[in-house]
Homo-oligomer: A and B are copies of this chain.
Amino acid sequence: MSHSRTVEIEGHIIDSGTMQRCFGAVMDLGGSFDVEQFDVGTHEEAESYCRMAVSADDEETLRAILHELHQNGAVLENPSDVELVAAPADKVVPPNFYSTTNHPTEVLYDGEWIDVERIEMDCALVVDPEPETGPNGGPANGPRAYTKVLNAVDEGDLVATDQSGIRVNPPERPRSGGGAFGFMQGGVSSERPSESTIREVAAELREVKSTGGNVMVVAGPAVVHSGAGEALARLVDAGYVDSLSAGNGFATHDLERSLYGTSLGMDVETLEHPRKGHKHHIWTISEVIRAGGIEAAVEQGKVTEGVMYQCVENDVDTVLAGSIRDDGPLPDTITDAVEAQNAIREQAHDADIVLMLATLLHSVAVGNCLPSTTKTVCVDINPATVTQLLDRGSAQAVGMVTDIGTFVPTLAEFVLDDGETDGGRTVVTDDDE
């Protein structure tokens, strides 16, 4: 095996599974390794360090191995600066461009490791040597690096290629048990009592809010169909939702309950006229269009309750993304997929915890933009949906296969009512922080 390179890996690399994956990758791809140094952290807080030479019979195999090791946090010994190539045209990346992971990442530029901003997977990595401003809007004090989705790449952008000079930091196992939140969990436990898990999610929500964090909710139409809309509206009203990402269907169903539940005498509780219901669906959209949008409909007193009403009243950052199966759509719906993605991306990057409630389409769209460090909760009655959403290497995720119609009300009860009981305090809102 004449082709060889030496890499270094450090951190909680044994208990986070890093070394298992690294050794495994070498063997799976037909290479071999020679560990030159391995310092094992002797207790749970101590990090470990590994330096090993990796060999393969040909350069192509070696590159494939190094690619896998890189994605698990390995860096070449004595790394050189990141290789940058100018994008040849708008929306076109140079050959062998570096495609990002969703893990925290650094680039070595001009001999300094700098953090990559706005981490998101499957993006190009662009370095701006002389940015106009710094990360927080102030004057720049050095080069910056950030991700760019393909359609945001501009001609001339300096795009990272290959992987040298780039360091990925996969999530490490939390030092203490994460409760319901599993570490890089790919499966879903159906053995645990549902109520205990919901209680832990509720505790986490309250923890996030009590520390000024940002809660994002991604919701599908089933939330309303199943009768859980009222509970979600209560959570919004109590300040537990900072942003809502949904579709035209969710919003219309919710608005329809408000428009028809009280004014036209239709029995929303029993939904006795399903076909007529669809006419109401179209009519709801028509009425909102006539009013000039959801906010206008609220202001005009046409909409007086429900999730959308509470989002308007509580200034929740709301994105309604269009889809080819929409009726209407509502004037608030962003029909262009790229524009909608960009809006979702802003929400996702701000979130500290994301609740994905009974929607695969919107959850995948959100998940595509999330760094692996964001906590996620996925709830769906279809196990395949939950598994797919969890399977993204999130550091802390919990999946539940359950009925959304009981999950949300139970969560709201635990968050809101237990909150008052436990401490005797009023429910936290953003203003409290």
Contacts and interface: CB of A to CB of B under 8 A. Distances in A.
Contacts of A403: 194, 381, 401-403, 406
Contacts of A30: 176-177
Interface stretch (A204-212, A337-345, A349-357): A337-345
Interface string A212-254: 0000000000100111000000000000000000000000000
- Contact count band on A: 35 or more
A68 interface: yes
Contact of A336 (B335, B364, B410): B335
Contact of A187 (B187, B191, B282): B187
A195 B227 contact: yes
Given A71-B275, A91-B286, A325-B368, A193 B20 contact: no
Given A88-B290, A99-B282, A177 B44 contact: no
Contact of A382 (B36, B281, B384): B384
Nearest to A367: B325
Nearest to A121: B278
Interface string A310-325: 0000000000011111
A273 interface: yes
Given A15-B20, A151-B328, A335-B337, A225 B193 contact: yes
Interface string A380-417: 01111001000100000000011101100010000000
A260 interface: no
Copies of this chain in the oligomer? 4
Nearest to A362: B324
Nearest to A333: B337
B27 A23 contact: no
Contact of A324 (B16, B60, B124, B341): B341
Contacts of A265: 60
A173 interface: yes
A92 B27 CA distance: 47
A194 B409 CA distance: 12
B225 A191 contact: yes
Interface string A24-63: 1011111011111010111110000010000000001000
A344 B393 CA distance: 36
A74 to B, nearest CB: 14
B32 A150 contact: no
Nearest to A17: B20
B35 A270 contact: no
Contacts of A225: 190-191, 193
Contacts of A365: 323-325
A255 to B, nearest CB: 14
Given A23-B15, A34-B43, A44-B26, A324 B361 contact: yes
Contact of A273 (B16, B64, B361, B405): B64
29 contacts: A15-B19, A17-B17, A17-B20, A20-B20, A24-B173, A27-B177, A32-B43, A38-B40, A60-B265, A67-B276, A89-B289, A92-B286, A99-B282, A149-B327, A150-B285, A150-B327, A151-B328, A186-B187, A191-B271, A193-B405, A194-B226, A195-B405, A323-B323, A323-B365, A324-B361, A329-B337, A383-B384, A383-B387, A402-B403
Enumerate the 7 nearest inter-chain pairs by beta-carbon distance, A residue then B residue, closest first. Answer: A193-B227, A15-B23, A322-B337, A406-B406, A99-B279, A324-B365, A38-B40
Given A97-B282, A335-B339, 16 more contacts: A14-B20, A15-B27, A24-B173, A32-B43, A93-B282, A122-B279, A122-B327, A150-B285, A150-B289, A191-B225, A192-B271, A196-B270, A322-B336, A323-B337, A383-B383, A383-B384
